[in-house]
Structure 1
Amino acid sequence: MLDDVDLRLLRHYQHDATLGPADLADLAGLTVATCARRLDKLQAAGVIRANRAVINWRALGYEVEVSLRITLDKTQPRAFDDFLDAARNVPDVVEIQTFLGRVDLRLSVIARDMAHYQHIYRSAILTLPHIADIEALMHVARIKSDEVLPL
């Protein structure tokens, strides 16, 4: 169970994971040693999953994002496993989500332009196994994309 100190530490840490131990400890009202111990404990418990760089893929020339809603042929016993194994290997697929309901999966695909997307779609997406239906949604704007929790 997380206590108020853990929550306070996480609140500051999630806003800027690049803070040094002394700065983070100061913001959270902890000693540096206590801050380090608590961070280690939160990482070991799986509360803090990773520290990573978030790269703006548009700055690297990727201008198109498409969300593909995919329904699989569920008469095939390995439909999900086979599809996921293959989809993980498509480098332009940046996110895979599974759902319960009419739509089984959602893939987020990025491309440099529409010609590049068309190539990815024809050569990599349509060759994925056990697809029964695909609906493509062209991304227009990202209104909110926040991994910060209301702690």
Structure 2
Amino acid sequence: MPDLDRIDRRILAALQSEGRITNLELAERIGLSPTATAERVKRLTRDGFILGYSARLDPAKIALGLLVFVEVKLDRTTPEVFDDFAAAVRRAPEVIECHMVAGGFDYLVKARVADMAAYRRFLSDVLLSMPGVRETHTYAVMEEVKGDPMLPI
């Protein structure tokens, strides 16, 4: 990893697994003074390695129990259509990830909704009305085998 030494990697790994750790606990865990640890965390944040902090929520407990992946094909592949589609996706709160991909379709959308009825509404009212959408193929997740957001450090 560019510009990261062993201590930086340990800091990133610790913060990624336990974002609410105090600076004192982090310093003890990695073997630096609290001041040196805080300075490293500031630098890692300033340099864009740390993008922010958040809580992981249980989707089922907040009525978002259905996870779907949707392949999206656009009617045209022009910069304007890509831009318009991307802007529409950013406005859709159900979409938790969207990736432009190479292959047999243009975008892979990951969305969370309450149930299949909610997905049907999302598909017809939101996704199919987005600019340039020609065709979709949906894959409903039956079991999430691994959903770990942690990156290997």
Same topology, TM > 0.5: yes
SS, match of residue 146 in structure 2: coil
Q: CA RMSD in A?
A: 1.5
Instruction: Note closer, same or farther for the CA distance 1:75–1:144 as it changes in structure 2 (3 Å cut).
Output: closer
**C-alpha separation between the residues in 2 aligned to 1:76 and 1:39?**
41
Partner of 1:70: 72
Residues 48, 130 of structure 1: alpha-carbon distance in 2 compared, 3 angstrom cutoff: same
SS of residue matched to 2:86: helix
Partner of 1:110: 112
- For 1:86-127, what per-residue CA distance to the aligned partner results, in whole angstroms no more than 9, with x for missing partners? 121122112111112222111122221211111111111111
Query: Structure 1 residues 72 and 49, CA, compared in 2 at 3 Å: closer, same or farther?
Result: same
Distance 1:41-1:127 versus aligned 2 partners, 3 A rule: same
User: Using a 3 Å threshold, how does the CA distance of structure 1 residues 13 and 75 change in structure 2: closer, same or farther?
Assistant: closer
Following the alignment from structure 1 to structure 2, what is the Cα–Cα distance between the partners of residues 17 and 75?
40
Q: Does 1:140 find its partner at 2:142? A: yes
Decide whether the 8 Å contact of 1:76 with 1:130 is kept in 2: no
Q: Which runs of 5+ in 2 are unaligned?
A: none
Amino acid at match of 2:141: H
Of 21, 33, 36, 1:34 maps to 36
In the other structure, the counterpart of 2:97 is: 95
> Which of structure 1's runs of 4+ aligned residues deviate more than 6 A?
none
Amino acid paired to 2:9? L
Counterpart AA for 2:87: D
Distance in 2, matches of 1:109 and 1:9, equals 31
Question: Match of 1:131?
Answer: 133
Range with bigger deviation, 107-116 or 30-39: 107-116
Structure 1 regions of 5+ residues with no counterpart?
A: none
Structure 1 contact 65–138 (Cα < 8 Å) conserved: yes
Change (3 A) 1:147 1:109: closer
- Compute the displacement of 1:77 (Å): 4.5
**How many residues are paired up?**
151
